[in-house]
Amino acid sequence: MHELGLTRGIVAACAERAQGRAVRVVRLKIGSFAGVELQALRFCFELCAEGTLVEGAELAIEEIAGCGECGECGARVSLDSPIAICPCERRARLKVVSGDELMLESMEVDDV
């Protein structure tokens, strides 16, 4: 379960940046191809946050859908898989342009 390791890193990064203030909201962007099980991440977040400045914080996750771009025709196509072929006549492989994100977007902390 790599979600536990990811969550430990997220909580540690938030606690470090909070500079002694309680964290209220943690916002993540996670792409559909990032290989993260969101329910497991939420569960791990509560466990890892216990006893830290992040305890009790809301975890807000924005899920990013997969999208690919054809290098031949320039079409942008919604993707269900990171490996896909453009439906155009050239049948070129699509380059993933969204859906592989895993980012700590922002956080809110208490005022001093």
- Please check whether residue 94 is in contact with residue 77, taking contact to mean a CB–CB distance below 8 angstroms: yes
**96: which strand partners?**
68
User: What is the pTM assigned to this prediction?
Assistant: 0.87
Report the number of distinct structural domains present in the chain. 1
d(CA 22, CA 4): 22
Q: 55: domain range?
A: 2-109
Residue-wise pLDDT tens digits, 60-85: 999 999 999 999 999 999 999 999 99
The one-letter code for the residue type at 24 is R
CATH number at residue 85: 3.30.2320.80
Backbone angles phi, psi at 62, to 5 degrees: -100, 120
Residue-wise pLDDT tens digits, 2-49: 899 999 999 999 999 999 999 999 999 999 999 999 999 999 999 999
**Range 37-40 contact pairs with CB under 8 angstroms and sequence separation of 24 or more:** 37/3, 38/63, 40/1, 40/3
